[in-house]
């Protein structure tokens, strides 16, 4: 075994995360732009796959895409009291343009509730204009003191849904619906189980009545907020005068929502599935599904093997798969194997002279056991119906990843009833999903964070936590002993 370019997870999880990103060529630090990142082609390809699937789901639920300005008049941010308080510290502001100082500075959008509120006010007159269901794919900027690739950077890419409704009831339905879209996407496409829940007042979006979240469990036991959905009530409607005339002829403020997921999901993908060999990518998000490595010694062998590999690639592409035939010379097959494994290609096919003669190939899954000699398990596939064999393997691989993630999640969730056990669960650098009673006060929430670094990730939907079907039950706060009505989810988080 040659040098291992990736730090093992057990040695240093944070370094492992950075190494996977570098070795899989997903992204790198922008270096000349503080706190920002360059998303490299292989990383962006994963985001494009995420976008394509999410966009289809948004359209299916009746939403339309639009685009709003990157720059927002500074005064807009100030119009909603909580919004300005939440975002002011992390705004980047444009004060000059065209060689002159601007009369009013612009902020680079940290999120678009305000500018969209302004235009919604123009677009909405009547109850017949509602609901208005808009989505925007965009980049946003939040000046962060401490950044982590994909998880928290100055600039990031996301989608933000913005909707306006005639009643609070419709607005609440939308918030629930879109959180479920995210949950389904995470499970079906990312092979990642998440827990739906409601944020505490302390963790709520600045300007929202209620924030819902999906929380993912990373391999090191920490939680990652993977998506959010906000009931904005009439807060932005009032701030931007977004009104409609109802059927009785009265003017009312609209009820609004916003919801988003971002390139942070790529971080979630890495920390959910990947291993010490590099990126592991579920087939439904893999930029390359199959890498074919030709094996040969002589020129004649090379010609026949490559001809065969290209033929297989063409056949698989007809099934809608992305296939790479690695024809690079001067590189031994083993080196190619490691490279494609680092990059998270789910399946590799090896085709050599013996395979050409037998009309077969060797298939190696990205996650495979080892045989009695310690060599990776491979299987032989016939070339006559290669599409069938490859399709089956990719389906099995997608299912395997979800199953593994679910098992890991199940093992990491515990229920705790006393402070001693709670502290043990978060001792040192440890984290997990801990279900415990909480007295409902922000003071206690902050005291627990101060003592253990663990925060309340959400008040989970009852029944959404595997193995713990009844979270709504009377109990005593794990910290203060005060009465509590339900268990909440604690974890350290990214």
Partner RNA sequence: CGGGGUGUGGCUCAGCUUGGUAGAGCGCUGCGUUCGGGACGCAGAGGUCGUAGGUUCAAAUCCUAUCACCCCGACCA
Structure letter (DSSP) for residue 376: B
Q: Taking the complex as a whole, how short is the minimal distance between the CB of residue 438 and RNA, in angstroms?
A: 18
29 touches RNA (CB under 7 A): yes
Cβ closer to RNA: 87 or 182? 87
Binder to RNA among 13, 119, 137, 338 (CB under 7 A)? 338
Binds RNA by CB under 7 A, chosen from 108, 133, 191, 206:
206
Footprint (CB under 7 A) of RNA, residues 310-329: 329
Give the DSSP letter string of 262-278: ETHHHHHHHHHH-BTTB
**Buried b vs exposed e over 109-125: b needs ≥16 C-beta within 10 Å?**
bbbbbbbbbbbbbeebe
Which C-beta is closer to RNA: that of 31 or that of 101?
Answer: 31
Under rule CB under 7 A, residue 373 binds RNA: no
Q: DSSP character for 218? A: P
Closest CA to 163 of 152, 154, 172, 151: 172
Task: Please check whether residue 387 is in contact with residue 316, taking contact to mean a CB–CB distance below 8 angstroms.
Answer: yes
Judged by beta carbon, residue 225 or residue 484, the one nearer RNA is 225
For residue 326, how many other CB atoms are within 10 A of its CB? 17
Binds RNA by CB under 7 A, chosen from 114, 262, 272, 274: 262
Using CB under 7 A as the binding rule, whether residue 333 contacts RNA is answered as yes
CA 234, distance to chain mean position in Å, is 29
Q: Please, what is the minimum distance in Å from the beta carbon of residue 431 to RNA?
A: 13
Residues that contact RNA, how many (by CB under 7 A): 61
Using CB under 7 A, which residues numbered 54 to 83 contact RNA?
none
List the one residue from 49, 63, 109, 142 that touches RNA (CB under 7 A).
142
As measured in angstroms, the least distance from the Cβ of 405 to RNA is 22
Q: Does 372 bind RNA (CB under 7 A)?
A: no
- Tell the smallest beta-carbon distance from residue 148 to RNA (Å): 7
The answer to whether 161 contacts RNA (rule: CB under 7 A) is no
369 binds RNA (CB under 7 A): no
Nearest C-alpha neighbor of 391 from the set 343, 326, 319, 323: 319
What is the three-state SS of 110-162?
A: CCCHHHHHHHHHHHCCEHHHCCEEEEEEEEEECCCCCCECCCECCEEEEEEEE
**Least spacing, CB of residue 479 vs RNA, in Å:** 18
- Does residue number 376 form part of the binding site for RNA (CB under 7 A)? yes
DSSP state of 5: S
User: Residue 197: which residues within 8 A CB-CB, separation 6 or more?
Assistant: 212, 213, 214, 215, 457, 458, 459, 460, 461, 464, 489
Task: Answer yes or no: are the C-beta atoms of 87 and 140 closer than 8 Å.
Answer: no
Using CB under 7 A as the binding rule, whether residue 146 contacts RNA is answered as yes
Q: State the minimum distance, in angstroms, from the CB of residue 226 to RNA.
A: 10
**Position among 87, 240, 397, 426 found at the interface with RNA (CB under 7 A):** 87
- Does 103 engage in binding with RNA (CB under 7 A)? no
What is the spatial distance between Cα 110 and Cα 205, in angstroms, rounded to a whole number? 12
Q: Determine if 364 is a binding residue for RNA (CB under 7 A).
A: yes
Q: Does 190 bind RNA (CB under 7 A)?
A: no
Site string for RNA, 341-360 (x = CB under 7 A): xx-------xxxxxx-----
Tokens in use for 183?
């949950």
- Round to whole Å and give the CA distance between 276 and 244: 56
Cis peptide before 131 (omega within 30 of 0): yes
Measured from the CB of residue 89, what is the shortest distance to RNA in angstroms? Answer: 6
Select from 452, 438, 451, 435 the least CA-distant residue to 483.
438
**Which residues, 270 to 289, sit near RNA by CB under 7 A?**
none
Query: Of 464, 409, 410, 457, which is closest to residue 436 (Cα–Cα)?
Result: 457
User: Can you give the binding site for RNA, defined by CB under 7 A?
Assistant: 1-5, 14, 29, 31, 34-35, 86-87, 89-90, 110-111, 142, 144-147, 152, 203-206, 208, 211, 225, 228, 260, 262, 295-297, 302, 329-335, 337-339, 341-342, 350-355, 361-362, 364, 368, 375-376, 378
């Amino acid at each position: 075994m040659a040098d291992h370019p990736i730090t093992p997870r057990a040695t240093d999880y944070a370094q492992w995360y950075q190494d996977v990103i570098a070795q899989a060529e997903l992204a790198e630090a922008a270096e000349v732009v503080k706190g920002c990142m360059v998303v490299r082609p292989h990383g962006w390809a994963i985001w494009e796959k995420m976008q394509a699937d999410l966009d289809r789901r948004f359209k299916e639920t009746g939403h339309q895409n639009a685009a709003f300005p990157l720059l927002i008049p500074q005064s807009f941010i100030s119009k909603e009291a909580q919004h300005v308080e939440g975002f002011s510290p992390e705004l980047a502001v444009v004060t000059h343009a065209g060689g002159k100082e601007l009369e009013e500075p612009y902020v680079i959008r940290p999120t678009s509730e305000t500018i969209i509120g302004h235009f919604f006010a123009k677009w909405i007159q009547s109850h017949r204009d509602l609901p208005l269901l808009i989505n925007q794919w965009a980049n946003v900027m939040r000046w962060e003191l401490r950044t982590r690739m994909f998880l928290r950077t100055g600039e990031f890419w996301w989608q933000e849904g913005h909707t306006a409704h005639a009643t609070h009831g419709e607005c609440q339905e939308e918030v629930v619906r879109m959180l479920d879209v995210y949950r389904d996407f995470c499970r079906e496409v990312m092979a990642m189980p998440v827990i739906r829940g409601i944020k505490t007042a302390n963790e709520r979006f600045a300007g929202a009545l209620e924030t819902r979240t999906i929380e993912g469990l990373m391999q090191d036991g920490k939680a990652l907020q993977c998506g959010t959905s906000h009931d904005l009530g009439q807060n932005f409607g009032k701030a931007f005068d977004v009104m409609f005339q109802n059927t009785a002829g009265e003017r009312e403020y609209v009820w609004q929502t916003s919801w988003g997921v971002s390139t942070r999901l790529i971080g979630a993908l890495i920390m959910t599935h990947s291993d010490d060999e590099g990126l592991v990518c579920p087939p439904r998000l893999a930029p390359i599904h199959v890498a074919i490595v030709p094996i040969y010694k002589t020129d004649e062998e090379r010609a026949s093997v490559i001809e065969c590999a290209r033929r297989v690639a063409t056949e698989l592409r007809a099934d809608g798969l992305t296939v790479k035939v690695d024809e690079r010379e001067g590189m031994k097959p083993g080196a190619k194997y490691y490279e494609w494994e680092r990059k998270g290609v789910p399946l590799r096919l090896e085709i050599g002279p013996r395979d050409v003669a037998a009309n077969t190939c060797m298939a190696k899954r990205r996650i495979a056991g080892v045989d009695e000699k310690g060599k990776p398990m491979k299987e032989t596939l016939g070339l006559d119906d290669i599409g069938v064999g490859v399709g089956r393997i990719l389906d099995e691989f997608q299912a395997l990843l979800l199953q593994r993630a679910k098992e890991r999640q199940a093992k990491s969730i515990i229920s705790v009833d006393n402070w001693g056990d709670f502290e043990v669960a978060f001792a040192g650098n440890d984290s997990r999903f801990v279900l415990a009673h909480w007295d409902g006060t922000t003071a206690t929430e902050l005291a627990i964070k101060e003592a253990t670094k663990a925060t309340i990730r959400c008040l989970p939907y009852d029944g959404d936590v595997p193995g713990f079907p009844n979270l709504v039950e009377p109990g005593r706060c794990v910290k203060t002993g005060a009465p509590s009505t339900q268990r909440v989810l604690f974890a350290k988080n990214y």
